[in-house]
């Protein structure tokens, strides 16, 4: 009897199973294990745009900024990870709701509800910041690849990563491409594994996780703005919203009318699970990188990181070969994830602002202008690497640039997502509105403080 029940539950011939698995307790355990596996699979299937958006947030720009924060200031800025998690999640949830309810990307909504010059200003700023960021990320990836293969030519590496990125975006069907991005997001766990390979004073880590230090200097303000800019980044806003629309199209909602049909509670619940999971992963990785570099580099006086090679090579003799390899692989993996998202988000914004056909769900022949912007942005980013730009400095300054641009777009996001005429019953609640304006104000203060410090 026990074997018959077990055969139905496990789905395997009873004869092939362990003959000792006959007691009711063992059968209950098998049923429980299968149920847990089913829950895990269901959870994984729920994840999508939120996971990939959160993972893309930890691009080489973020890795460089977090590494410098940990190396230069030790654990002093570790509190930023716990602070930015809820703020980042609230912003990305607003963006996801806009896409889910309106059936349009963020740029399409801005174009519809604000003067035309507003969306043109936003897209110009976004294209400039993203292109610079692409160049910095490609350079960092090439440098990291050289650490793994010292004989590899830098030019060959950076061109190779550029070609690979463009090929995946242009020629791989969207359903396969989305799965590729989802699985690639797991490369971020390499930074968590790197953290656990080193010796940390966890009581000290926990204290700095929640207790900020307020002795701000010009350099520290730059790093804080960089951290905020690389976690609450404009390209993530546009990408998140557009990917919610792409998922709807993949589900068969190919017209704007079908996408604007009433949004169900289950759809919003799944979206929130996805978004908050992705943002948690993103901030966990920030935490791990700052803690790793604080313990391994700052503690021995290595406080100034000049290149990706410096960051990884400094870890090798101090933290060991495992941390060095995990850190280096992380730069390459996150770059492969982020570069297409940087180029894609700029293209979504520009295409929607001009009313072009757009979307990764369309083939090249159906959306020439959309894919043209992706190619132009990526190729300009490639060219940036041949004008003598320091990769790590470029990463940090691109993050700072995002921090200065973000408030402009945040204002528009809050205004759209709180409007009941646009969002219906899924408009922001009071708490979300308060947090939205708080985040916007925080980004404004951070950006202004940085500009003042640079001018002094």
Averaged over 298-319, what is the pLDDT? Answer: 71
Chain centroid to Cα 52, Å, comes to: 6
The Cα 328–Cα 311 span in angstroms is 9
Domain ranges of the chain: 47-455
361 pLDDT above the threshold of 90: no
Q: Measure the CA–CA gap between 290 and 284, rounded to whole angstroms.
A: 10
Give the whole-angstrom CA distance, residue 327 versus residue 148.
11
Q: What are the pLDDT digits (tens) for 160-206?
A: 999 999 998 888 887 787 788 888 888 888 888 888 888 888 888 88
The yes-or-no verdict on residue 288 having pLDDT over 50 is yes
**For 252, left (φ over 0), alpha (ψ -120 to 50), or beta?**
left
Least confident interval from 148-162, 254-268, 271-285: 254-268
Residue 54 has what pLDDT?
87
Band the pLDDT of 23: cuts 50, 70, 90.
low
- Asked if CATH classification 1.20.1740 holds for the domain at 47-455, the reply, yes or no, is yes
| Residue 4 pLDDT class (50, 70, 90 cuts) | low
Place of tokens 């619940």: 269
Q: Is the pLDDT of residue 143 over 90?
A: no
User: Rounded to an integer, what distance in angstroms lies between the CA atom of residue 89 and that of residue 232?
Assistant: 9
Name the token pair of 403: 């921090």
User: Does 147 score more than 70 pLDDT?
Assistant: yes
CA distances 325 to 162, 269, 314, Å, are 23, 38, 12
| Average pLDDT along the chain | 83
What pLDDT band is residue 94 in, cutting at 50, 70 and 90?
very high
Question: For residues 285 and 54, what is the distance between their CA atoms, to the nearest angstrom?
Answer: 10
Predicted pLDDT of residue 162: 94
State the first-to-last Cα distance of the chain, in angstroms, to the nearest integer: 82
Q: Show the 3-state SS of the chain.
A: CHHHHHHHHHCCCHHHCCCCCCCHHHHHHHHHHHHHHHHHHHHHHHCCHHHHHHHHHCCHHHHHHHHHHHHHHCCCCCHHHHHHHHHHHHHHHHHHHHHHHHCCCHHHHHHHHCCHHHHHHHHHHHHHHHHHHHHHHHHHHHHHHHHHCCCCCHHHHHHHHHHHHHHHHHHCCHHHHHHHHHHHHHHHHHHHHHHHCCCCCHHHHHHHHHCCCCCCCHHHHHHHHHHHHHHCCHHHHHHHHHHHHHHHHHCCCCCHHHHCCCCCHHHHHHHHHHHHHHHHHHHHHHHHHHHHHHHHCHHHCCCCCCCHHHHHHHHHHHHCHHHHHHHHHHHHHHHHHHHHHHHHHHHHHHHHHHCCCCCCCCCHHHCHHHHHHHHHHHHHHHHHCCCCCCHHHHHHHHHHHHHHHHHHHHHHHHHHHCCHHHHHHHCCCHHHHHHHHHHHHHHHHHHHHHHHHHHC
pLDDT at 393: 61
**Angle (deg, nearest 10), helices 321-354 and 265-296:** 140
Q: Mean of the pLDDT values across residues 29-56? A: 79
Query: What band does 5 get if pLDDT is binned at 50, 70 and 90?
Result: low
> What confidence score (pLDDT) does residue 6 get?
47
**pLDDT for the residue 276:** 94
Q: What percent of the chain has pLDDT over 90?
A: 25
Alpha-carbon distance 225 to 220, whole Å? 9
User: Is 70 exceeded by the pLDDT of residue 336?
Assistant: yes
Instruction: Go through 210-249 and write b for each residue having 16 or more CB atoms within 10 A of its CB, e for each that does not.
Output: eeeeeeeeeebbbbbbbbbbbbbbbbbbbbbbbbbbbbbb
Token duo for residue 60: 């080489």
Please state, in angstroms and rounded to a whole number, the distance separating the CA atoms of residues 64 and 251. Answer: 37
CA distance 277 to 187: 15
164: closest CA among 386, 343, 326?
343
Which residue, 192, 196, 201, 193, is CA-closest to 299? Answer: 201
Candidate from 274-278, 312-316, 372-376 with smallest mean pLDDT: 312-316
Residue 221 confidence (pLDDT) above 80: no
Asked if 38 contacts 46 with a C-beta cutoff of 8 angstroms, the reply is no
């Amino acid at each position: 009897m026990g074997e018959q029940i077990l055969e139905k539950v496990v789905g395997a011939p009873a004869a092939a199973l362990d003959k000792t698995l006959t007691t009711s307790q063992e059968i209950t355990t098998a049923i429980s294990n299968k149920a847990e596996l089913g829950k895990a699979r269901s959870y994984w299937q729920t994840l999508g745009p939120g996971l990939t958006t959160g993972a893309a947030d930890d691009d080489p720009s973020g890795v460089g900024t977090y590494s410098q924060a940990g190396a230069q200031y030790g654990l002093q800025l570790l509190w930023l990870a716990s602070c930015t998690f809820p703020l980042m999640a609230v912003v990305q949830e607003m963006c996801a709701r806009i896409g889910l309810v309106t059936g349009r990307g963020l740029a399409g909504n801005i174009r519809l509800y604000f003067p035309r010059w507003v969306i043109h200003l936003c897209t110009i700023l976004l294209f400039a910041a993203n292109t610079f960021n692409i160049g910095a990320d490609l350079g960092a990836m090439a440098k990291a690849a050289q650490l793994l293969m010292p004989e590899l030519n830098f030019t060959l590496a950076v061109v190779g990563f550029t070609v690979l990125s463009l090929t995946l975006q242009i020629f791989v069907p969207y359903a396969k491409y989305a799965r590729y991005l989802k699985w690639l997001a797991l490369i971020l766990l390499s930074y968590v594994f790197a953290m656990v390979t080193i010796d940390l004073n966890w009581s000290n880590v926990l204290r700095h996780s929640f207790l900020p230090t307020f002795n701000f200097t010009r350099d520290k303000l730059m790093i804080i703005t960089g951290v905020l800019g690389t976690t609450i980044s404009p390209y993530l806003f546009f990408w998140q919203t557009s990917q919610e629309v792409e998922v709807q199209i993949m589900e068969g909602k190919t017209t704007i009318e079908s996408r604007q049909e009433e949004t169900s509670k289950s759809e919003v619940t799944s979206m929130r699970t996805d978004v908050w999971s992705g943002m948690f992963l993103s901030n966990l990785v920030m935490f791990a990188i700052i803690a790793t570099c604080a313990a391994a580099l700052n503690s021995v006086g290595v406080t100034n990181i000049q290149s990706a090679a410096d960051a990884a090579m400094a870890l090798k003799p101090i933290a060991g070969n495992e941390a060095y390899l995990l850190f280096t692989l992380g730069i390459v993996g996150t770059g492969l994830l982020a570069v297409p998202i940087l180029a894609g988000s700029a293209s979504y914004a520009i295409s929607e602002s001009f009313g072009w056909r757009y979307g990764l769900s369309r083939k090249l022949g159906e959306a020439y202008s959309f894919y043209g912007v992706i190619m132009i942005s990526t190729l300009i980013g490639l060219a940036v690497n041949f004008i003598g730009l320091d990769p790590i400095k470029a990463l940090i300054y691109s993050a700072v640039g995002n921090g200065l641009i973000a408030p402009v777009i945040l204002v528009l996001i809050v205004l759209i997502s709180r409007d009941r005429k646009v969002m219906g019953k899924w408009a922001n609640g009071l708490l979300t509105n308060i947090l939205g304006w708080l985040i916007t104000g925080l980004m404004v203060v951070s950006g202004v403080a940085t500009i003042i410090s640079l001018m002094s």
